[in-house]
Chains A and B, each alone.
Chain A
Amino acid sequence: MLSGNEAVALAALDFGVALGTGYPGTPSTEILEYLSAHGGRAQWAPNEKVALEVGLGVAMAGAAVLVTMKHVGLNVAADPLFTAAYTGTSGSLVIVSADDPGMASSQNEQDNRRFAVAAAVPMLEPADAQESYDFTLLALELSARWHLPFILRTTTRVCHSKTVVYLLPRERNVLVPHFEHDIRSRVMIPSNARPAHRRLRQKLAELTQWNEESGPNELVAGQSRLGIVTSGVNFMHVREAAPDASVLKLGLTYPLPLEKIRRFATSVDRCLVIEEGDPYLVEQLRTAGIAVEGKPEMYRFGELNVTRVRRILVGDTSPEPAALPGKPPTLCQGCPHRIVFGVLKKLDCIVAGDIGCYSLGALPPWEAMDSLVCMGASIGMGLGLRHALPADEARRVVSVIGDSTFVHSGIPGLVEMAYNPPPGGHVVLILDNGTTAMTGLQEHPGTGRTLDHAATGKIVFEDLIRSLGIPNVTVIDPVAAPERFEQILVESLASDALSVIITRRTCLLAAGKIRQYEQSNV
């Protein structure tokens, strides 16, 4: 029995990837942890863009690599992604994009199937842990065969559901990395990129043909009255909600096997598409002139389940019973973030916030965070507020960002602050709890330990920030000296200069583990 995430990691190991890299993010995080725990080489990158670039380098060297991230991570990695499709790969490059329909723990429910089309990167969608294993292997193989990066798009239910998995006894690939100059394929100046784009479309046309004939798409023969086209975990809901229907389950969902789908659609009286999130399949099929029925708009929101599929089958658009709220999470008793938000509330600050455990400062009893958009946004948005608000309000603006988030994408924001300082200055709080707490206590470049907690180089925030020319940089333990912290914040807000206050106190949940790592690392 394996979760989808564990199955992806095992497949990567069984294929013989040289490296797994990524940035933590629910529901993808466990893949690299599992890979590392089972003897693979895995490392956290500072963010998803860097992870993908490292991956692209590994693949350029002719080796196999797995790059993991949550759905919004692909936004960060989008820049290399789009052009990696042009350069292609020498070895294998598979990017895991773990989507979160229903937002179990994310800031949006974007549907990354759109990315596959936009970037022209082929995409596979497993339905359970067995397919997570099979499709990871397949994606690594296809990537090597077509010299293209592949996206493995999983969803929360696939990542975190355990199902029975049969492993394939296979020889691990022994890819011998080596370098061959190939400037025309890899240096994307316009004169090289133009033919590269044509090559890419040619490869996709060949892959489409392969997908039509031998792609990982499954036909479940059933009654001809109702045919359902579906993919991913939705296939499971469909099999239960409509056990007698004919079902075409798509595995390689970009580029689509349109002719196969067309034949299926004409073989049934009614052809319905069951998909979670955006109407991606419906739009693609209709554009190709295939007559299919989609779901009512209300089912775009949230994840699907057997009940909702039953409702879609009969066109039921009556209001759904509201899910009773579970107990909302809150900051742990004794969490250092509590002190910080107590003070921010007391001083009635306008808080440009960010993502991490500390986002819970937006909920009662603090309600002391005024924005949360994406990782790193706190600094830029805080600066924008400072630029635009009248002076008395601008003076109350503070940007609040966690340590892992600061390394991920906060540093360019600080560079902006040093370069374009607002007239009344600005104050940035870095809540340094020595870990990536939100996603389950992962290491990052500021902790001085690698993914498997071994000692490595450590980014010293205060040194880095001073080197940018920001005049006031203070480090303070908010638990040991709450009054002093408040006083420093008050003084910084009153000043027209730029200030960064680093509140340094280890996350309560991580403290014991960190002590152990430190002892075993000396």
Chain B
Amino acid sequence: MSNRVVNIVVAGLGGQGVLKASDILTEAAFAAGWDVKKADVHGMSQRGGSVRSDVRFGPRVFSPMVTAGEADFLVVLAEDQVEPHRDVLRPGGTLLMPDRIAADRLPNRRSINVALLGVLSRGLAIAPEFWQAAIRNNFRENLHGDNLHAFQIGREMA
């Protein structure tokens, strides 16, 4: 996979941490030395509408948007957001949903987004230390522990 662009779509509803997850992913991929682009659609997400964030990384990325039918991974944080986004996946692409995570093992249910990044991380050429640094950069210090833990749980469940 190292010579082509990896396409990931993160989707969910306003307030679920879609953009936080894609920010962490973007930062980790950048730190790992890839060219990265990220495109967010969050028109009225504050009011609970759909949110979608596309992340693409590789040796050289042009368009910031993932083309329909070409996503390698679709990470969905709200069950009812699977159908509206399913067509982004390429044949054989991977769908990741909250049911991959035993929520009761999470230190904090809000960190399901980061736990799913843990699952995702198994399929990507980005070393764990880049993920961990990106998680630290994207949360206040008192949330570092919970989120690093959630990431680890996701990684183990992958």
Q: Do these two chains interact?
A: yes
Q: Among A164, A239, A325, A329, which residue has its beta carbon within 8 angstroms of that of B84?
A: A325
Q: Among A26, A104, A327, which residue has its beta carbon within 8 angstroms of that of B13?
A: A327
Q: Are B43 and A331 in contact (CB under 8 A)?
A: no
Does more than half of chain A's interface fall in helix, strand or loop, or is it mixed?
A: loop
Interface hits, A222-275 → B, CB 8 Å? 233, 235-237, 239-240
Q: Are A161 and B38 in contact (CB under 8 A)?
A: yes
Q: Among B41, B42, B48, which residue has its beta carbon within 8 angstroms of that of A330?
A: B48
The chain A residues found within 8 Å of chain B, CB to CB, are 1, 26, 104-105, 128, 157, 160-164, 233, 235-237, 239-240, 305-307, 321, 324-332, 357, 360, 437-438, 440, 509
- B146 is an interface residue with CB less than 8 A from chain A: no
Partner-contacting stretch, out of B61-69, B97-105, B118-126: B61-69
Of all chain A residues, the one with the shortest Cβ separation from B80 is A327
Of all chain B residues, the one with the shortest Cβ separation from A360 is B47
Complex CA gap A1/B52 in Å reads: 19
Neighbouring A residues of B84 by C-beta, 8 Å: 324-327
Q: Among B27, B35, B65, which residue has its beta carbon within 8 angstroms of that of A305?
A: B65
If A157-B39, A162-B26 touch, whether A128 touches B64 (CB-CB below 8 Å) is yes
Neighbouring B residues of A321 by C-beta, 8 Å: 68, 87
Neighbouring B residues of A236 by C-beta, 8 Å: 62-64
- B81 is an interface residue with CB less than 8 A from chain A: yes
Neighbouring B residues of A235 by C-beta, 8 Å: 62
Q: Are A327 and B37 in contact (CB under 8 A)?
A: no
Q: Are B83 and A105 in contact (CB under 8 A)?
A: no
Neighbouring B residues of A233 by C-beta, 8 Å: 63-64
Q: Are A307 and B68 in contact (CB under 8 A)?
A: yes
8 interchain residue pairs of minimum CB distance = A326-B50, A329-B49, A329-B47, A329-B44, A105-B43, A161-B64, A236-B62, A324-B84
Interface hits, B84-106 → A, CB 8 Å? 84-85, 87
Of all chain B residues, the one with the shortest Cβ separation from A437 is B46
Q: Are B30 and A164 in contact (CB under 8 A)?
A: yes
Complex CA gap A440/B47 in Å reads: 10
- B14 is an interface residue with CB less than 8 A from chain A: yes
Complex CA gap A304/B119 in Å reads: 32
- B45 is an interface residue with CB less than 8 A from chain A: yes
Q: Are B47 and A332 in contact (CB under 8 A)?
A: yes
Q: Are B47 and A331 in contact (CB under 8 A)?
A: yes
If A237-B62, A305-B65, A330-B48 touch, whether A162 touches B37 (CB-CB below 8 Å) is yes
Neighbouring A residues of B67 by C-beta, 8 Å: 240, 305-307
Neighbouring B residues of A157 by C-beta, 8 Å: 39, 64-65
Q: Among B38, B48, B65, B85, which residue has its beta carbon within 8 angstroms of that of A329?
A: B48
Neighbouring A residues of B63 by C-beta, 8 Å: 233, 236-237, 239-240, 305-306
Q: Are A1 and B30 in contact (CB under 8 A)?
A: yes
CB<8 Å pairs between A and B, sample of 25: A1-B30, A104-B41, A105-B43, A128-B64, A157-B39, A160-B39, A161-B39, A161-B40, A164-B35, A164-B36, A233-B63, A236-B62, A239-B62, A305-B63, A306-B65, A324-B84, A327-B48, A327-B49, A327-B84, A328-B49, A331-B47, A332-B46, A332-B47, A357-B47, A360-B44
Q: Are B47 and A330 in contact (CB under 8 A)?
A: yes
If A26-B43, A104-B43, A162-B26 touch, whether A128 touches B48 (CB-CB below 8 Å) is no
Q: Given contacts A1-B27, A161-B64, A164-B36, list 4 more A-B pairs with CB under 8 A.
A: A160-B39, A162-B38, A163-B36, A332-B48
Q: Are B48 and A1 in contact (CB under 8 A)?
A: no
Q: Are B62 and A240 in contact (CB under 8 A)?
A: yes
Of all chain A residues, the one with the shortest Cβ separation from B83 is A324
